[in-house]
Each structure stands twice: as structure tokens, then as C-alpha cells.
Amino acid sequence: MSALVDAQHARAREVLGSEALAYYESGAGAELTRREAEAAWSHYRLRPRVLTDVAAVDLSLDLLGTHLATPLLVAPTAYHRLAHPDGEVATARGAAAAGALLTLSARASQPLESVAQAAAGPWWFQVYATRDPAVHRGLAVRARDAGATALVLTGDTPFVGRKPLSDSLGIPGIEDMVAVNSGAHLRPDAATDAADQWPSATTDLVAELAALTGLPVLVKGVLRGDEAARCVDAGAAGIVVSTHGGRQLDRVVPSAVALPEVVAAVGDRVPVLVDGGLRSGLDVLTALALGARAVLLGRPVLWALAAGGAAGVRELLDTLTDDLAHVMALAGAPTLDAVTADLVTRIERPVERPV
């Protein structure tokens, strides 16, 4: 765990309202998946190269036609106005200042056009299949028109997962926040129903969204190789391996365990990305060595936003990017292409209490 992530989390705990904090922190069910996510990355050990020229480490990459300065992306997370009055606009500014790609949530709490204006850097838009298809179609087209360069269709949320630690508290102001983007053509009370999850969505939606917008569509929330192949066969331009931060089905395989299987199945056809429990440069290096082209950060960005607004988000992304460059150098990998599978090995029993 990066010391900065810890410090920003501690600060967020001080400044956030108790309902917002519970909503952000909580996971589904008994929270086994949420709790396991971080530790799963430490089941791998590095196999560094020696006497390699690592004086200059280059973290840049091309991802689905976009040139990026860092493989750290902002994951789509809902309702940033709960964390900071400037909401997603502040997140967008912080990500752009760090040269990091923002994935804007379908549940953004500010109009996506306002966020797009603040996003001086590249951004993608995340889509939920909604009961009223006019809502997800309208959002996808508006995002394309506002400058999003890809869509991320979240596939693991036919229903919202039950989170015992926060469901009873509710999310303050949720109707208004949902209506900001989804309910422009509806009354606020009707907007929430129309924008509700549509549990009948299938992989047909991948090609439909691609045809509607002309944008590449990634599928997020994939944890199996065969399911990744099914999505790519249906037209997916990329896969995001994810447990949704342990907020959907509890007791699923950790992202760190699912990633190699998904990379083996589709990694030669499309870029595979991953999120879940990534909290340090070493975690990110491990994910990249296991075949991820880039990684996404969820809760750490929310803590950074609550702790310091746009400047906090920038500090988080800059610090983790710098941390990644440092451990890449020590591992003998001066470019992302040099971060290959031979750099890691899985160990069966990590030492539980190192002395």
C-alpha cells in the first residue's frame, strides 16, 4: 500500500459524511471479495533483471488509438459530488494534469458535457444498460459528441449488488444526481426508474453501442477466459477484468487470479485491462507483468478527491506513476513492452507474518 493512498484514505474518513463514506467503502455480501482484492496481488513475486540500462523509464503507451503518458487510468465510480463539491469536474482536472485517462461513470453527478469541458485529457464513458434504452443510448451518443474516445460497457451489474454496510443508509441526494444525466427528458422521480439497471441485457448490446456511436466498446467486469472470448466475438474492442471493487457478486475470483486466464484467452486479439485492490507501484507492475495493458483505480481516486479535490487526484496519479517507474527500473524493465510475464511468479503460501 502506498503511504499516500493510506494518508488520503485517513483524510477522507475525516471529511466525508458517514453515509458517503459507507457507500464508497462497502462491498457486497460478507465483503470477502472486497477484502481479498489487495492481498491477491501479493501472491506474486518478482523475478528482476540485472545490469539493464534503466536510466530512462518510459511509461507511455497507445491504447485503442489514444496516446497516454501513464498506464494508470481512473476507474468509473459513481457520484463524485458526495466526495467533493466540484465532483467529476475536479476528478477530470486532476486526471488531465497527471496525463491519466478518465473513465466517467454513467452515474456521474454532474452533466457529462461539463466534465468533458474540464477534461483537458482523453476520457472514456462507462455505460450501464438501463431499463429505458433511450437513457443508455442517449448517454452514449452525448458522450461521443462531447469527446469520449471509447465506451466501457459494465457487464457485471444486471442488478446492483446488496451491500449490508451501506444499503440501509441510502445515498444522500441520489435522485437529483441520477437525473443530472439520465433524466433530462423525465421528471426526477421517473428518471430513477428509467435509469435503473436493465437485467435482460446481453452481449448484443456491444455491437449495438458500437454501431450507434462508432466508438470502440470495452466490456468491464469479466473474470473468465471463455466469457472474455464471447465478448470479443460479439465485437468488444477491449476487456476490463474486474470484480467491481467487490461490490457485486461476493466470493468471485480476485482480479489478480482471473487476469492471466483472460489474457491467455483474448490478449492477442484485444487489450486486457484490470482493476481491483491496486494500491502501489508494485501492485501495478505485477498486473502489467501478468498481461494487463493498463490498470484502473477506483476507491483511491475517491479518497484523493475527498482529501484534496483536483490537486489530490493529481497527486495520487503522479505519485503512483512515479512509484511504478521506480519499481520498473529496479526490476530491469525500462518500457512497458519490457514488462513481460517472466518478471513474475506465483507463490503458493505468502509469508503471513514476515518478521
Ligand X SMILES: CCCCC(=O)C(=O)O
Ligand Y SMILES: Cc1cc2nc3c(=O)[nH]c(=O)nc-3n(C[C@H](O)[C@H](O)[C@H](O)COP(=O)(O)O)c2cc1C
From 80, 84, 136, 244, the catalytic residue: 244
CB of 55 to ligand Y, least distance (A): 32
| Chosen residue from 5, 16, 73, 78 binding ligand X by CB under 6 A | 78
76 contacts ligand Y (rule: CB under 6 A):
yes
Q: Which does 220 bind (CB under 5 to 8 A by kind): ligand Y, ligand X, none?
A: ligand Y
| Chosen residue from 28, 37, 101, 231 binding ligand Y by CB under 6 A | 37
CA distance 285 to 207: 33
CA distance 56 to 6: 29
Burial class (CB in 10 A: 0-12, 13-18, 19+), 176: middle
- Total residues contacting ligand X by CB under 6 A comes to 6
**153 backbone dihedrals φ, ψ, rounded to 5°:** -90, 115
Q: Which does 126 bind (CB under 5 to 8 A by kind): ligand X, ligand Y, none?
A: ligand Y
What's the one-letter identity of residue 107?
R
24 contacts ligand Y (rule: CB under 6 A):
yes
| Chosen residue from 57, 160, 212, 329 binding ligand X by CB under 6 A | 160
In this structure, the dihedral spanned by the alpha carbons of residues 299, 301, 302 and 304, taken in order and rounded to 10 degrees, is 130
CB-nearer residue toward ligand X: 28 or 95: 28
72 contacts ligand Y (rule: CB under 6 A):
no
Burial class (CB in 10 A: 0-12, 13-18, 19+), 73: buried
247 contacts ligand X (rule: CB under 6 A):
yes
The answer to whether residues 246 and 37 touch, using CB atoms and an 8 Å cutoff, is yes
297 contacts ligand Y (rule: CB under 6 A):
yes
CB-nearer residue toward ligand X: 9 or 247: 247
List binders of ligand Y among 166-195 (CB under 6 A): none
| Catalytic-residue membership of 244 | yes
CB closest to ligand X, residue no: 78
CB-nearer residue toward ligand X: 121 or 172: 172
107 contacts ligand X (rule: CB under 6 A):
yes
CB of 138 to ligand Y, least distance (A): 17
144 contacts ligand Y (rule: CB under 6 A):
no
- Interacting stretch for ligand Y, rule CB under 6 A, among 56-64, 73-81, 188-196, 324-332? 73-81
The answer to whether residues 343 and 333 touch, using CB atoms and an 8 Å cutoff, is yes
Residue whose C-alpha cell is 492481498: 39
220 contacts ligand X (rule: CB under 6 A):
no
CB of 311 to ligand Y, least distance (A): 20
| Chosen residue from 275, 283, 318, 323 binding ligand Y by CB under 6 A | 275
The residues that are catalytic are 244
Which residues of the chain form contacts with ligand X (CB under 6 A)?
Answer: 78, 107, 157, 160, 244, 247
Which residues of the chain form contacts with ligand Y (CB under 6 A)?
Answer: 23-24, 37, 75-78, 105-107, 126, 154, 220, 242, 244-245, 247, 275-278, 297-299
